[in-house]
Amino acid sequence: MSQNWGDKFSARVGFFKASAIRQLLSLVNDPDVISLAGGMPDPELFPKEVIAEIAKDVITNDCGKSLQYGPTEGIKPLRETLIKMTQEEIKGVTGDNIIVTTASQQGLDMLAKIFIDPGDTVIVEAPSYVGGLQALQSFQANFVTIPLDDNGIRTDILEEKLEELKRKGIKPKLIYLIPNFQNPGGVTTTLERRQKLIELSHNYDVPLMEDDPYGEIRFEGEKVPSLIELDNVGNVIALRTFSKILAPGLRLGWIIADREVIAKIGLAKQSADLCSPSLTQYIADKFIRDGHLKTYLDVVRPAYRVKKDAMLSAIEKYFPQEATWTKPQGGMFVWAGVPNNIDTDELFPEALQKKVAYVVGSAFYPHGEDKHHMRLNFTLNSPEIIEEGIKRLGNLLKTKLS
């Protein structure tokens, strides 16, 4: 090793931030630890027989396509399927408004690449999805954070911030939002606030980046129209994924946006991976065409509701009364607040000793400013394991009360 690499890397490498979640998870090798940390779907529910048969079928009968390079924008049948699905929701969408991505994380990376110059301002919810923050940060974005409450993003504070930035001559490049069952917040932005977001986006000429991995995983309450449904493809760039409605191991998502944005993503994607995996695209397409998606979601939704209920009951039973927590109507996460004398970063190693893991709240802030929350996942484990995990965590929290 004769290289001094430090003086060769690009300036942006100095802005790369490791995912605290992935770092923490790599510590959890002890099989006795109950992990409420990850954001994984329950593999017990994967429709494995169906997917196995479909995989065998698309390889045996169409290997000239399923094992070969495909178009950058996605294989033709899957694009047709997605266009049809999208047209049910958004009028006037055509193939020029849709591109397949290697899961929505690639979508986030491509959007950061085509929009963000070093020092550009982006507005994000606080807390927000780690992977979204990482993608933006890796292209040297400056973050302005807007808090959430039980009704979603605080649009009143957003409006003040936009006005303040305007006075300073700063025009944000994007507003990054997770309106449904927010990660990690668990809350859903109300229709009224969504309409306000559209209005602000138009008034201040800032595009909305709507990340919606969980929209189809609603197990309670009424669907709220998506931002892109409310605004069409004008100012909204919508990120969707197969990771939660089918399986993350396929690494497939898609973006719906104005054709000019889709064209630029296409160019960025050519040099990022040429095309998404043809094999998994053919599997996902046949899965939907053969009508398995609805069947699978009808299994997933009630199963996750039972798990969510188990987690909320256990929190009520075992957490100290000073704790707070969100009550998600879908998705995968509960966001729990602990009394101010408890630092959830510091508590983490102790929790591991008590054989339970969560994600520290600070991971979901661009500058790690929150030390009194934790994200709890309810989709991976069984209701019994969830209760036991929450019990261990609650007992630990109670020992820390002053």
Residue among 170, 171, 178, 161 nearest 108 (CA): 178
Q: How many residues bind a copy of itself (CB under 8 A)?
A: 91
* 19 beta partners: none
Q: How far is the CB of 338 from a copy of itself (least distance, A)?
A: 27
Binders in 58-117 for a copy of itself, by CB under 8 A? 59-60, 63-72, 102-103, 105-106, 108-109, 112-117
Q: Compute the least distance from the CB of residue 130 to a copy of itself, in Å.
A: 9
Do residues 253 and 214 touch, judged by C-beta distance below 8 A? no
* Position among 35, 121, 128, 138 found at the interface with a copy of itself (CB under 8 A): 138
Task: Give kind and range of the element (H or E) at residue 239.
Answer: strand 236-241
Stretch that binds a copy of itself, among 12-20, 81-89, 291-299, 350-358 (CB under 8 A): 12-20
Number of Cβ atoms within 10 Å of the Cβ of 159? 17
Would you count residue 213 as binding a copy of itself (CB under 8 A)?
no
CA distance 29 to 46: 24
Which residues on adjacent β-strands are paired with residue 240?
Answer: 254
CA atoms within 13 A on the CB side of 93: 28
* Minimum distance of a copy of itself from residue 149's CB (angstroms): 28
Residue 19 binds a copy of itself, judged by CB under 8 A:
yes
Cα distances (Å, whole numbers) of residue 218 to 63, 124, 207, 213, 335: 36, 23, 26, 11, 17
**Is residue 352 a contact residue for a copy of itself (CB under 8 A)?**
no
Binding range to a copy of itself, per CB under 8 A, among 6-14, 216-224, 334-342, 363-371: 6-14
Write out the two tokens for 54.
């479909």
Per-residue x/- track, 327-346, a copy of itself (CB under 8 A): --------------------
Q: Which of 233, 288, 338, 390 binds a copy of itself (CB under 8 A)?
A: 233
Q: Which is nearer to a copy of itself, 246 or 323 (CB)?
A: 246
Residues of span 237-296 touching a copy of itself by CB under 8 A:
243, 247-251, 258, 260-261, 264, 267-268, 270-280
Strand pairing class (236-241; 253-256):
antiparallel
- Helix (H), strand (E) at residue 128: none
Query: Which amino acid appears at position 257 of this protein?
Result: A
Q: State yes or no: residue 166 binds a copy of itself (CB under 8 A).
A: no
Tell me the torsion sign for CA atoms 138, 142, 147, 151.
negative
Q: By CB under 8 A, is residue 297 in contact with a copy of itself? A: no
Select 88 or 117, whichever has its Cβ closest to a copy of itself.
117
